[in-house]
Chain A
Amino acid sequence: MSECSRVEGTIAIAEPRTTAADRVGRVYAQFRESVFRTAMRHTAGDRAAAEDVAHDVFVRLLRAIDGLDDDEQLGGWLYRVTVNLCLTRLRRDRFRRSVLRVWRVEERASSTPERDAGTRDELEKVLGTIASLPPKERVVLTMLHLDGRSQIEIAQVLGHSKGYISKLVERGRARVRAAGWESRDV
Protein backbone atom coordinates (compact mmCIF):
# COMPACT_ATOMS: atom_id res chain seq x y z
CA MET A 1 0.00 0.00 0.00
CA SER A 2 1.38 3.35 -0.92
CA GLU A 3 2.41 5.76 1.77
CA CYS A 4 0.34 8.38 0.04
CA SER A 5 -2.79 6.44 0.60
CA ARG A 6 -2.14 6.19 4.29
CA VAL A 7 -2.82 9.31 6.18
CA GLU A 8 -0.80 9.19 9.33
CA GLY A 9 -1.44 12.16 11.48
CA THR A 10 -4.22 14.63 11.30
CA ILE A 11 -4.52 17.64 9.14
CA ALA A 12 -7.48 19.93 9.14
CA ILE A 13 -8.01 20.50 5.47
CA ALA A 14 -10.77 23.01 5.82
CA GLU A 15 -9.73 25.71 8.17
CA PRO A 16 -11.44 29.03 8.31
CA ARG A 17 -9.65 32.10 7.02
CA THR A 18 -6.94 30.21 5.23
CA THR A 19 -6.36 30.36 1.54
CA ALA A 20 -6.15 27.30 -0.66
CA ALA A 21 -2.45 27.97 -1.03
CA ASP A 22 -1.97 27.96 2.72
CA ARG A 23 -3.82 24.69 3.03
CA VAL A 24 -1.86 23.12 0.23
CA GLY A 25 1.27 24.38 1.94
CA ARG A 26 0.36 22.40 5.02
CA VAL A 27 -0.50 19.33 3.02
CA TYR A 28 2.82 19.72 1.23
CA ALA A 29 4.63 19.87 4.52
CA GLN A 30 3.07 16.58 5.57
CA PHE A 31 3.16 14.67 2.32
CA ARG A 32 6.14 16.05 0.42
CA GLU A 33 8.33 13.07 1.22
CA SER A 34 5.77 10.39 0.55
CA VAL A 35 4.72 11.97 -2.74
CA PHE A 36 8.35 12.35 -3.72
CA ARG A 37 9.12 8.75 -2.84
CA THR A 38 6.14 7.49 -4.78
CA ALA A 39 7.31 9.51 -7.75
CA MET A 40 10.86 8.20 -7.34
CA ARG A 41 9.51 4.69 -7.40
CA HIS A 42 7.49 5.20 -10.54
CA THR A 43 10.23 7.06 -12.37
CA ALA A 44 12.78 4.37 -11.49
CA GLY A 45 14.86 6.63 -9.32
CA ASP A 46 14.94 9.60 -11.66
CA ARG A 47 15.29 12.25 -9.02
CA ALA A 48 14.78 15.21 -11.30
CA ALA A 49 11.66 13.70 -12.82
CA ALA A 50 10.35 12.77 -9.39
CA GLU A 51 10.72 16.33 -8.19
CA ASP A 52 9.02 17.64 -11.28
CA VAL A 53 6.12 15.29 -10.66
CA ALA A 54 5.91 16.13 -6.97
CA HIS A 55 5.83 19.81 -7.82
CA ASP A 56 3.05 19.34 -10.33
CA VAL A 57 1.04 17.25 -7.89
CA PHE A 58 0.85 20.04 -5.35
CA VAL A 59 0.17 22.67 -7.96
CA ARG A 60 -2.78 20.59 -9.09
CA LEU A 61 -3.88 20.16 -5.52
CA LEU A 62 -4.30 23.90 -5.36
CA ARG A 63 -7.23 23.58 -7.72
CA ALA A 64 -8.63 20.42 -6.20
CA ILE A 65 -8.30 20.86 -2.48
CA ASP A 66 -11.69 22.47 -2.03
CA GLY A 67 -13.31 19.28 -3.23
CA LEU A 68 -11.41 16.99 -0.89
CA ASP A 69 -13.34 16.52 2.28
CA ASP A 70 -11.13 14.39 4.46
CA ASP A 71 -7.66 12.97 4.86
CA GLU A 72 -8.56 9.65 3.29
CA GLN A 73 -9.75 11.36 0.14
CA LEU A 74 -6.64 13.48 0.17
CA GLY A 75 -4.29 10.51 0.44
CA GLY A 76 -6.05 8.73 -2.39
CA TRP A 77 -6.03 11.83 -4.52
CA LEU A 78 -2.32 12.39 -3.99
CA TYR A 79 -1.48 8.82 -4.87
CA ARG A 80 -3.68 8.75 -7.95
CA VAL A 81 -2.41 12.03 -9.32
CA THR A 82 1.22 11.16 -8.57
CA VAL A 83 1.01 7.86 -10.39
CA ASN A 84 -0.81 9.31 -13.35
CA LEU A 85 1.62 12.21 -13.66
CA CYS A 86 4.49 9.73 -13.56
CA LEU A 87 2.82 7.79 -16.32
CA THR A 88 2.44 10.92 -18.40
CA ARG A 89 6.05 11.78 -17.78
CA LEU A 90 7.24 8.32 -18.74
CA ARG A 91 5.34 8.48 -21.98
CA ARG A 92 6.74 11.87 -22.82
CA ASP A 93 10.31 11.08 -21.88
CA ARG A 94 10.46 7.50 -22.96
CA PHE A 95 13.14 7.94 -25.56
CA ARG A 96 15.31 10.17 -23.48
CA ARG A 97 14.94 8.06 -20.35
CA SER A 98 16.22 5.05 -22.10
CA VAL A 99 19.30 6.96 -23.18
CA LEU A 100 19.96 8.44 -19.77
CA ARG A 101 19.44 5.26 -17.88
CA VAL A 102 23.13 4.48 -17.93
CA TRP A 103 23.89 7.76 -16.32
CA ARG A 104 21.61 7.07 -13.45
CA VAL A 105 23.03 3.67 -12.92
CA GLU A 106 26.51 5.13 -12.82
CA GLU A 107 25.32 7.79 -10.48
CA ARG A 108 23.97 5.27 -8.02
CA ALA A 109 27.03 3.10 -8.35
CA SER A 110 29.43 5.95 -7.84
CA SER A 111 27.53 7.24 -4.84
CA THR A 112 28.12 3.98 -3.00
CA PRO A 113 31.58 2.85 -3.96
CA GLU A 114 31.49 -0.04 -1.52
CA ARG A 115 28.78 -1.70 -3.50
CA ASP A 116 30.04 -4.90 -4.98
CA ALA A 117 29.99 -5.69 -8.64
CA GLY A 118 27.19 -8.21 -8.30
CA THR A 119 24.85 -5.70 -6.78
CA ARG A 120 25.75 -3.18 -9.40
CA ASP A 121 25.03 -5.65 -12.14
CA GLU A 122 21.69 -6.43 -10.58
CA LEU A 123 20.84 -2.77 -10.34
CA GLU A 124 21.76 -2.19 -13.95
CA LYS A 125 19.76 -5.16 -15.04
CA VAL A 126 16.70 -4.19 -13.03
CA LEU A 127 16.78 -0.63 -14.31
CA GLY A 128 17.38 -1.86 -17.81
CA THR A 129 14.40 -4.16 -17.60
CA ILE A 130 12.18 -1.44 -16.19
CA ALA A 131 13.28 0.97 -18.88
CA SER A 132 12.46 -1.56 -21.57
CA LEU A 133 8.83 -1.80 -20.50
CA PRO A 134 6.17 0.37 -22.09
CA PRO A 135 5.20 3.11 -19.63
CA LYS A 136 1.82 1.70 -18.71
CA GLU A 137 3.10 -1.83 -18.12
CA ARG A 138 5.93 -0.40 -16.11
CA VAL A 139 3.62 1.61 -13.89
CA VAL A 140 1.25 -1.30 -13.45
CA LEU A 141 4.04 -3.67 -12.40
CA THR A 142 5.42 -1.07 -10.03
CA MET A 143 2.02 -0.53 -8.47
CA LEU A 144 1.55 -4.26 -8.18
CA HIS A 145 4.94 -5.24 -6.80
CA LEU A 146 6.12 -2.16 -4.96
CA ASP A 147 2.97 -0.28 -3.99
CA GLY A 148 1.21 -3.51 -3.06
CA ARG A 149 -1.90 -2.63 -4.99
CA SER A 150 -4.38 -5.18 -6.20
CA GLN A 151 -5.30 -5.27 -9.85
CA ILE A 152 -8.72 -3.87 -9.00
CA GLU A 153 -7.14 -0.94 -7.20
CA ILE A 154 -4.76 -0.37 -10.07
CA ALA A 155 -7.68 -0.34 -12.46
CA GLN A 156 -9.42 2.29 -10.36
CA VAL A 157 -6.36 4.50 -10.09
CA LEU A 158 -5.55 4.36 -13.78
CA GLY A 159 -9.13 4.42 -14.96
CA HIS A 160 -9.12 1.09 -16.77
CA SER A 161 -11.00 -2.17 -16.49
CA LYS A 162 -9.59 -4.96 -14.38
CA GLY A 163 -9.36 -7.12 -17.48
CA TYR A 164 -7.16 -4.60 -19.20
CA ILE A 165 -4.92 -4.35 -16.15
CA SER A 166 -4.60 -8.14 -16.07
CA LYS A 167 -3.54 -8.04 -19.68
CA LEU A 168 -0.96 -5.37 -18.96
CA VAL A 169 0.40 -7.41 -16.07
CA GLU A 170 0.75 -10.46 -18.26
CA ARG A 171 2.42 -8.50 -21.02
CA GLY A 172 4.77 -6.89 -18.55
CA ARG A 173 5.71 -10.20 -17.02
CA ALA A 174 6.35 -11.63 -20.45
CA ARG A 175 8.72 -8.78 -21.23
CA VAL A 176 10.45 -9.32 -17.90
CA ARG A 177 10.99 -12.96 -18.80
CA ALA A 178 12.17 -11.96 -22.25
CA ALA A 179 14.71 -9.69 -20.61
CA GLY A 180 16.35 -12.69 -19.04
CA TRP A 181 14.45 -13.14 -15.82
CA GLU A 182 12.99 -16.62 -15.65
CA SER A 183 9.55 -17.19 -14.30
CA ARG A 184 8.34 -19.98 -12.09
CA ASP A 185 4.83 -19.84 -13.45
CA VAL A 186 5.72 -20.53 -17.04
Chain B
Amino acid sequence: MSDDDFVDALRRTDDRWRSERPSDHLDARVVASLHGRGRSIPALGMIAAAGAIAGALVFMTRDRPAVDPPAPLADLELADFEPARCAPAAESSALRLDKGCTVTLRAPAMAIHALETVELLRGAAGIEVIRGVARFDVERVKPGASRVVVLVADGRIEVVGTRFVVTQRHGVGTVFLEVGRIDFIARSGERQRLEPGGSRTWGPSVSAAVVLAQPPVDAGVPRARAVPPDEGGPIGVATRPEAPPVADRPVEIVPAREPKRAPSELTPEALLESAPPRTWSVEQTSRAVQWVSKLRGEGRYAEAVVWIARLLEAPLDARAAEVLSFERGQLLERKLGDTEGACQHWGAHRARFPGGRYEIEVTTALNRCGAVNSPRGRE
Protein backbone atom coordinates (compact mmCIF):
# COMPACT_ATOMS: atom_id res chain seq x y z
CA MET B 1 0.00 0.00 0.00
CA SER B 2 1.58 3.28 -1.02
CA ASP B 3 1.28 6.81 0.18
CA ASP B 4 -0.80 7.46 -2.90
CA ASP B 5 -3.05 4.64 -1.84
CA PHE B 6 -3.76 6.53 1.34
CA VAL B 7 -4.61 9.62 -0.62
CA ASP B 8 -6.82 7.63 -2.96
CA ALA B 9 -8.54 5.98 -0.04
CA LEU B 10 -8.98 9.37 1.57
CA ARG B 11 -10.57 10.69 -1.60
CA ARG B 12 -12.89 7.72 -1.84
CA THR B 13 -13.94 8.36 1.72
CA ASP B 14 -14.43 12.01 0.90
CA ASP B 15 -16.73 11.03 -1.94
CA ARG B 16 -19.01 9.44 0.62
CA TRP B 17 -19.08 12.59 2.70
CA ARG B 18 -19.93 14.63 -0.35
CA SER B 19 -23.29 12.95 -0.59
CA GLU B 20 -24.21 14.16 2.86
CA ARG B 21 -26.47 17.16 3.06
CA PRO B 22 -26.95 19.54 5.96
CA SER B 23 -30.00 18.73 8.00
CA ASP B 24 -33.12 20.74 8.65
CA HIS B 25 -31.86 21.23 12.13
CA LEU B 26 -28.96 23.29 10.86
CA ASP B 27 -31.32 25.59 9.00
CA ALA B 28 -33.37 26.14 12.11
CA ARG B 29 -30.29 26.82 14.21
CA VAL B 30 -28.89 29.32 11.77
CA VAL B 31 -32.19 31.10 11.39
CA ALA B 32 -32.59 31.29 15.14
CA SER B 33 -29.07 32.59 15.59
CA LEU B 34 -29.32 35.19 12.86
CA HIS B 35 -32.59 36.61 13.95
CA GLY B 36 -32.91 35.69 17.56
CA ARG B 37 -36.02 34.47 19.23
CA GLY B 38 -37.79 37.75 18.76
CA ARG B 39 -37.31 37.74 15.03
CA SER B 40 -40.00 38.78 12.68
CA ILE B 41 -41.88 36.50 10.37
CA PRO B 42 -40.84 38.53 7.29
CA ALA B 43 -37.26 37.76 8.15
CA LEU B 44 -38.12 34.10 8.38
CA GLY B 45 -39.89 34.28 5.09
CA MET B 46 -36.86 35.77 3.49
CA ILE B 47 -34.69 32.98 4.78
CA ALA B 48 -37.16 30.42 3.51
CA ALA B 49 -37.19 32.11 0.14
CA ALA B 50 -33.43 32.23 0.20
CA GLY B 51 -33.50 28.53 0.85
CA ALA B 52 -35.41 28.06 -2.35
CA ILE B 53 -32.74 30.10 -4.11
CA ALA B 54 -30.16 27.82 -2.61
CA GLY B 55 -31.91 24.84 -4.07
CA ALA B 56 -31.86 26.41 -7.49
CA LEU B 57 -28.23 27.43 -7.24
CA VAL B 58 -27.20 24.00 -6.11
CA PHE B 59 -29.06 22.55 -9.03
CA MET B 60 -27.37 24.87 -11.47
CA THR B 61 -23.87 24.66 -10.17
CA ARG B 62 -23.53 21.24 -8.64
CA ASP B 63 -25.22 19.21 -11.31
CA ARG B 64 -27.52 17.67 -8.77
CA PRO B 65 -31.25 17.73 -8.24
CA ALA B 66 -32.55 20.82 -6.54
CA VAL B 67 -33.00 20.38 -2.87
CA ASP B 68 -36.02 21.48 -1.00
CA PRO B 69 -35.92 24.83 0.72
CA PRO B 70 -34.71 24.63 4.28
CA ALA B 71 -37.16 22.22 5.73
CA PRO B 72 -39.41 23.46 8.47
CA LEU B 73 -38.29 23.10 11.99
CA ALA B 74 -39.01 26.35 13.65
CA ASP B 75 -42.66 25.95 14.46
CA LEU B 76 -41.85 25.40 18.05
CA GLU B 77 -39.96 28.66 18.09
CA LEU B 78 -43.03 30.39 16.86
CA ALA B 79 -44.94 28.89 19.70
CA ASP B 80 -45.97 30.05 23.10
CA PHE B 81 -44.91 28.09 26.11
CA GLU B 82 -46.98 28.08 29.23
CA PRO B 83 -45.85 28.53 31.87
CA ALA B 84 -42.70 30.31 30.80
CA ARG B 85 -40.46 27.84 32.57
CA CYS B 86 -41.52 25.27 30.00
CA ALA B 87 -39.73 27.10 27.21
CA PRO B 88 -36.60 25.27 26.11
CA ALA B 89 -33.34 26.72 27.32
CA ALA B 90 -31.70 26.14 23.98
CA GLU B 91 -33.03 25.99 20.49
CA SER B 92 -33.39 22.42 19.45
CA SER B 93 -35.59 20.27 17.30
CA ALA B 94 -36.20 18.15 20.34
CA LEU B 95 -38.42 19.36 23.10
CA ARG B 96 -39.26 17.89 26.43
CA LEU B 97 -42.36 19.18 28.10
CA ASP B 98 -42.88 18.45 31.74
CA LYS B 99 -46.29 17.49 32.97
CA GLY B 100 -48.53 20.51 32.97
CA CYS B 101 -46.67 22.39 30.27
CA THR B 102 -48.41 23.57 27.15
CA VAL B 103 -46.97 24.65 23.86
CA THR B 104 -49.21 26.48 21.43
CA LEU B 105 -48.35 26.60 17.78
CA ARG B 106 -49.57 29.52 15.78
CA ALA B 107 -49.85 27.95 12.39
CA PRO B 108 -51.65 25.75 12.37
CA ALA B 109 -53.56 26.55 15.47
CA MET B 110 -52.73 23.73 17.74
CA ALA B 111 -51.92 23.31 21.38
CA ILE B 112 -49.96 20.44 22.81
CA HIS B 113 -50.54 19.76 26.48
CA ALA B 114 -48.18 17.46 28.31
CA LEU B 115 -50.37 15.15 30.36
CA GLU B 116 -47.20 13.44 31.45
CA THR B 117 -43.65 14.32 30.61
CA VAL B 118 -43.53 14.10 26.86
CA GLU B 119 -40.64 14.18 24.44
CA LEU B 120 -41.36 15.73 21.09
CA LEU B 121 -39.13 15.89 18.09
CA ARG B 122 -39.60 18.21 15.20
CA GLY B 123 -38.17 16.67 12.10
CA ALA B 124 -38.72 17.37 8.47
CA ALA B 125 -41.85 15.25 8.54
CA GLY B 126 -43.42 16.97 11.48
CA ILE B 127 -43.67 16.71 15.20
CA GLU B 128 -43.11 13.29 16.57
CA VAL B 129 -44.20 12.07 19.95
CA ILE B 130 -41.15 10.17 21.01
CA ARG B 131 -42.38 9.22 24.42
CA GLY B 132 -44.97 10.33 26.85
CA VAL B 133 -48.56 11.44 26.76
CA ALA B 134 -49.76 14.60 25.11
CA ARG B 135 -53.11 16.03 24.25
CA PHE B 136 -53.35 17.76 20.90
CA ASP B 137 -55.98 20.42 20.70
CA VAL B 138 -56.47 21.34 17.08
CA GLU B 139 -58.66 24.25 16.15
CA ARG B 140 -61.19 23.84 13.44
CA VAL B 141 -59.42 23.90 10.14
CA LYS B 142 -60.73 26.63 7.90
CA PRO B 143 -60.88 26.50 4.13
CA GLY B 144 -57.40 26.71 2.69
CA ALA B 145 -55.75 26.44 6.07
CA SER B 146 -52.90 24.12 6.85
CA ARG B 147 -53.62 20.58 7.63
CA VAL B 148 -52.20 18.98 10.68
CA VAL B 149 -51.03 15.43 10.23
CA VAL B 150 -50.29 13.08 13.05
CA LEU B 151 -48.04 10.24 12.00
CA VAL B 152 -48.83 6.83 13.40
CA ALA B 153 -48.59 3.29 12.15
CA ASP B 154 -50.49 1.58 9.44
CA GLY B 155 -52.77 4.37 8.47
CA ARG B 156 -53.77 7.96 8.85
CA ILE B 157 -56.47 9.76 10.70
CA GLU B 158 -58.32 12.71 9.29
CA VAL B 159 -59.74 15.23 11.67
CA VAL B 160 -61.61 18.49 11.50
CA GLY B 161 -61.08 20.51 14.61
CA THR B 162 -60.62 18.10 17.39
CA ARG B 163 -58.95 17.22 20.58
CA PHE B 164 -57.12 13.97 20.97
CA VAL B 165 -54.52 12.40 23.17
CA VAL B 166 -51.48 10.63 21.79
CA THR B 167 -49.71 8.18 24.03
CA GLN B 168 -46.36 6.73 23.10
CA ARG B 169 -45.00 4.43 25.71
CA HIS B 170 -42.92 1.28 25.66
CA GLY B 171 -43.01 1.25 21.90
CA VAL B 172 -46.78 1.16 21.66
CA GLY B 173 -48.89 4.13 20.78
CA THR B 174 -52.52 5.04 21.06
CA VAL B 175 -54.62 7.94 19.93
CA PHE B 176 -57.73 8.62 21.94
CA LEU B 177 -60.31 11.00 20.54
CA GLU B 178 -61.94 13.31 23.04
CA VAL B 179 -63.76 15.79 20.84
CA GLY B 180 -64.37 16.10 17.12
CA ARG B 181 -63.82 13.58 14.42
CA ILE B 182 -60.95 11.41 13.35
CA ASP B 183 -60.77 9.23 10.30
CA PHE B 184 -58.11 6.57 10.55
CA ILE B 185 -57.05 5.63 7.05
CA ALA B 186 -55.07 2.42 6.88
CA ARG B 187 -52.25 1.99 4.43
CA SER B 188 -54.49 -0.36 2.58
CA GLY B 189 -56.86 2.56 2.08
CA GLU B 190 -59.42 1.31 4.52
CA ARG B 191 -60.97 4.16 6.44
CA GLN B 192 -62.13 3.93 10.01
CA ARG B 193 -63.91 6.79 11.68
CA LEU B 194 -63.34 7.37 15.33
CA GLU B 195 -66.05 8.98 17.35
CA PRO B 196 -65.44 10.78 20.59
CA GLY B 197 -64.34 8.22 23.10
CA GLY B 198 -62.88 6.01 20.38
CA SER B 199 -59.25 5.03 20.14
CA ARG B 200 -56.75 3.43 17.81
CA THR B 201 -53.55 1.66 18.79
CA TRP B 202 -50.43 1.07 16.74
CA GLY B 203 -47.52 -1.22 17.17
CA PRO B 204 -44.00 -0.95 18.47
CA SER B 205 -41.11 0.91 16.90
CA VAL B 206 -43.35 3.52 15.38
CA SER B 207 -43.85 6.92 16.83
CA ALA B 208 -46.54 9.43 16.18
CA ALA B 209 -45.85 12.65 14.40
CA VAL B 210 -47.86 15.72 13.75
CA VAL B 211 -47.12 17.38 10.45
CA LEU B 212 -48.55 20.01 8.23
CA ALA B 213 -49.56 19.11 4.77
CA GLN B 214 -50.61 22.42 3.26
CA PRO B 215 -49.44 25.99 3.01
CA PRO B 216 -50.27 28.05 6.03
CA VAL B 217 -52.86 30.33 4.64
CA ASP B 218 -54.54 32.39 7.31
CA ALA B 219 -55.93 29.92 9.74
CA GLY B 220 -57.76 32.59 11.60
CA VAL B 221 -55.61 32.17 14.63
CA PRO B 222 -55.28 35.04 17.02
CA ARG B 223 -51.78 36.54 16.79
CA ALA B 224 -51.02 34.41 13.74
CA ARG B 225 -50.13 36.53 10.76
CA ALA B 226 -50.98 35.64 7.22
CA VAL B 227 -47.75 35.50 5.27
CA PRO B 228 -47.70 37.05 1.82
CA PRO B 229 -47.00 34.47 -0.86
CA ASP B 230 -43.80 36.15 -1.92
CA GLU B 231 -42.36 35.58 1.51
CA GLY B 232 -42.55 31.87 1.02
CA GLY B 233 -44.23 31.27 4.32
CA PRO B 234 -42.57 30.97 7.67
CA ILE B 235 -39.73 28.56 7.67
CA GLY B 236 -41.29 26.66 10.47
CA VAL B 237 -44.12 25.33 8.38
CA ALA B 238 -43.98 22.45 5.97
CA THR B 239 -45.44 23.69 2.77
CA ARG B 240 -46.58 21.78 -0.23
CA PRO B 241 -47.67 24.50 -2.59
CA GLU B 242 -48.92 22.01 -5.11
CA ALA B 243 -51.69 20.91 -2.78
CA PRO B 244 -54.89 22.78 -3.61
CA PRO B 245 -56.80 24.34 -0.78
CA VAL B 246 -59.72 22.22 0.24
CA ALA B 247 -62.63 23.51 2.22
CA ASP B 248 -62.78 22.08 5.68
CA ARG B 249 -59.78 19.91 4.94
CA PRO B 250 -59.42 17.62 7.85
CA VAL B 251 -56.47 16.98 10.00
CA GLU B 252 -54.76 13.77 9.08
CA ILE B 253 -53.11 11.18 11.17
CA VAL B 254 -50.81 9.18 8.95
CA PRO B 255 -48.11 6.60 9.40
CA ALA B 256 -44.90 7.84 10.92
CA ARG B 257 -41.59 6.89 9.46
CA GLU B 258 -40.77 3.37 10.28
CA PRO B 259 -37.14 2.49 10.65
CA LYS B 260 -35.88 0.70 7.58
CA ARG B 261 -33.95 -2.34 8.53
CA ALA B 262 -32.65 -5.47 7.01
CA PRO B 263 -34.64 -8.58 7.82
CA SER B 264 -31.89 -9.84 10.05
CA GLU B 265 -31.47 -6.54 11.85
CA LEU B 266 -32.96 -6.31 15.27
CA THR B 267 -34.10 -3.12 16.83
CA PRO B 268 -33.16 -2.49 20.43
CA GLU B 269 -36.79 -3.15 21.17
CA ALA B 270 -36.60 -6.63 19.71
CA LEU B 271 -33.29 -7.20 21.40
CA LEU B 272 -34.70 -6.13 24.72
CA GLU B 273 -37.64 -8.43 24.31
CA SER B 274 -35.75 -11.42 23.02
CA ALA B 275 -32.49 -11.36 24.88
CA PRO B 276 -32.14 -13.77 27.76
CA PRO B 277 -31.16 -12.32 31.11
CA ARG B 278 -27.45 -12.80 30.60
CA THR B 279 -24.77 -10.64 29.14
CA TRP B 280 -25.48 -9.85 25.54
CA SER B 281 -23.39 -11.32 22.81
CA VAL B 282 -21.03 -9.15 20.82
CA GLU B 283 -23.46 -9.30 17.92
CA GLN B 284 -26.40 -8.18 20.01
CA THR B 285 -24.40 -5.37 21.51
CA SER B 286 -23.11 -4.36 18.11
CA ARG B 287 -26.63 -4.18 16.73
CA ALA B 288 -27.78 -2.07 19.63
CA VAL B 289 -24.87 0.31 19.21
CA GLN B 290 -25.46 0.48 15.47
CA TRP B 291 -29.07 1.34 16.05
CA VAL B 292 -28.25 4.19 18.35
CA SER B 293 -25.55 5.32 15.97
CA LYS B 294 -28.04 5.34 13.15
CA LEU B 295 -30.48 7.47 15.12
CA ARG B 296 -27.70 9.84 15.99
CA GLY B 297 -26.57 10.04 12.40
CA GLU B 298 -30.08 10.93 11.33
CA GLY B 299 -30.28 13.66 13.93
CA ARG B 300 -32.91 11.76 15.91
CA TYR B 301 -31.19 12.62 19.15
CA ALA B 302 -34.19 12.45 21.42
CA GLU B 303 -34.97 8.97 20.19
CA ALA B 304 -31.37 7.96 20.66
CA VAL B 305 -31.48 9.20 24.23
CA VAL B 306 -34.60 7.22 24.91
CA TRP B 307 -33.17 4.06 23.40
CA ILE B 308 -29.92 4.33 25.23
CA ALA B 309 -31.79 4.68 28.50
CA ARG B 310 -33.57 1.43 27.76
CA LEU B 311 -30.44 -0.28 26.56
CA LEU B 312 -28.64 0.64 29.74
CA GLU B 313 -31.16 -1.47 31.59
CA ALA B 314 -30.24 -4.47 29.45
CA PRO B 315 -27.44 -6.92 30.28
CA LEU B 316 -24.84 -5.17 28.16
CA ASP B 317 -21.21 -5.76 28.90
CA ALA B 318 -19.75 -3.02 31.06
CA ARG B 319 -17.61 -1.50 28.31
CA ALA B 320 -20.50 -1.11 25.87
CA ALA B 321 -22.73 0.23 28.61
CA GLU B 322 -20.18 2.83 29.55
CA VAL B 323 -19.79 4.00 25.96
CA LEU B 324 -23.54 4.20 25.52
CA SER B 325 -23.98 5.99 28.80
CA PHE B 326 -21.36 8.55 27.85
CA GLU B 327 -23.01 9.04 24.49
CA ARG B 328 -26.34 9.64 26.19
CA GLY B 329 -24.87 12.36 28.34
CA GLN B 330 -23.31 13.97 25.30
CA LEU B 331 -26.58 13.92 23.41
CA LEU B 332 -28.54 15.35 26.30
CA GLU B 333 -26.08 18.12 26.92
CA ARG B 334 -24.84 19.02 23.48
CA LYS B 335 -27.59 18.05 21.10
CA LEU B 336 -30.75 18.42 23.10
CA GLY B 337 -29.61 21.24 25.34
CA ASP B 338 -31.17 19.46 28.27
CA THR B 339 -28.82 20.68 30.95
CA GLU B 340 -30.85 19.37 33.84
CA GLY B 341 -31.28 15.96 32.30
CA ALA B 342 -27.63 15.84 31.34
CA CYS B 343 -26.50 16.71 34.84
CA GLN B 344 -28.68 14.00 36.30
CA HIS B 345 -27.28 11.58 33.80
CA TRP B 346 -23.68 12.55 34.45
CA GLY B 347 -24.27 11.93 38.15
CA ALA B 348 -25.72 8.52 37.41
CA HIS B 349 -22.88 7.78 35.00
CA ARG B 350 -20.29 8.62 37.64
CA ALA B 351 -22.05 6.40 40.15
CA ARG B 352 -22.24 3.49 37.73
CA PHE B 353 -18.78 3.85 36.21
CA PRO B 354 -16.57 5.36 38.92
CA GLY B 355 -13.10 6.12 37.61
CA GLY B 356 -14.17 5.02 34.16
CA ARG B 357 -12.63 5.70 30.81
CA TYR B 358 -14.45 9.02 30.49
CA GLU B 359 -13.57 10.20 33.95
CA ILE B 360 -12.05 13.46 32.74
CA GLU B 361 -15.00 14.33 30.54
CA VAL B 362 -17.54 13.36 33.16
CA THR B 363 -15.76 15.35 35.83
CA THR B 364 -15.68 18.35 33.53
CA ALA B 365 -19.35 17.92 32.75
CA LEU B 366 -20.24 17.66 36.42
CA ASN B 367 -18.23 20.79 37.07
CA ARG B 368 -20.28 22.54 34.42
CA CYS B 369 -23.39 21.28 36.14
CA GLY B 370 -22.13 22.73 39.38
CA ALA B 371 -21.59 26.07 37.70
CA VAL B 372 -25.04 26.01 36.18
CA ASN B 373 -26.72 25.03 39.39
CA SER B 374 -24.89 27.47 41.57
CA PRO B 375 -26.69 30.71 42.41
CA ARG B 376 -24.21 32.55 40.24
CA GLY B 377 -24.77 30.15 37.38
CA ARG B 378 -28.48 30.78 37.40
CA GLU B 379 -28.11 34.51 36.95
Interface residues of chain A, those whose CB is within 8 Å of chain B, are 8-9, 19, 21-22, 24-26, 28-30, 32-33, 36-37, 40-41, 45, 47-48, 50-51, 54-55, 58-59, 62, 95-96, 99-100, 103-104, 106-108, 110-111, 113, 122-123, 125-127, 129-130, 142, 145-146, 173, 176-177, 180-185
Contact of A36 with B26 in the complex, beta carbons under 8 Å: yes
Interface presence of B3 (CB below 8 A) = yes
Contact of A183 with B34 in the complex, beta carbons under 8 Å: no
In the complex, 24 of the A-B residue pairs with CB atoms within 8 angstroms, ordered by the A residue number, are: A22-B46, A25-B34, A28-B47, A29-B51, A30-B50, A36-B20, A36-B21, A48-B335, A51-B29, A54-B26, A54-B30, A55-B33, A95-B361, A106-B293, A126-B13, A127-B13, A129-B6, A142-B10, A145-B11, A146-B10, A181-B2, A181-B5, A182-B5, A184-B3
Instruction: Choose one: A19, A48, A127, A182; the contact of B1 (CB below 8 Å).
Output: A182
Contact of A146 with B14 in the complex, beta carbons under 8 Å: yes
Which residues from chain B contact A184 at a C-beta distance below 8 Å?
A: 2-4
Would you list which residues of chain B between 32 and 77 have a CB under 8 Å from chain A?
A: 33-35, 43, 46-47, 50-54, 57-58, 60-62, 67, 70
Would you list which residues of chain B between 351 and 379 have a CB under 8 Å from chain A?
A: 357-358, 360-361
**CB contact under 8 A between A176 and B290, given known A37-B18, A125-B9:** no
What residue in chain A is nearest B26 (Cβ atoms)?
A: A51
Which residues from chain A contact B289 at a C-beta distance below 8 Å?
A: 103, 106
**CB contact under 8 A between A103 and B14, given known A9-B60, A30-B57, A54-B22:** no
Which residues from chain A contact B286 at a C-beta distance below 8 Å?
A: 106
Contact of A51 with B43 in the complex, beta carbons under 8 Å: no
Interface presence of B23 (CB below 8 A) = yes
Which residues from chain A contact B18 at a C-beta distance below 8 Å?
A: 37, 40
Point out which of B29, B296, B297 has the most chain A C-beta atoms below 10 A from its C-beta: B297
Contact of A176 with B3 in the complex, beta carbons under 8 Å: yes
Min Cβ gap B257→A in Å is: 15
Which residues from chain B contact A183 at a C-beta distance below 8 Å?
A: 2-3
Which residues from chain B contact A122 at a C-beta distance below 8 Å?
A: 9, 12
Contact of A25 with B46 in the complex, beta carbons under 8 Å: yes
Instruction: Choose one: A29, A41, A51; the contact of B53 (CB below 8 Å).
Output: A29
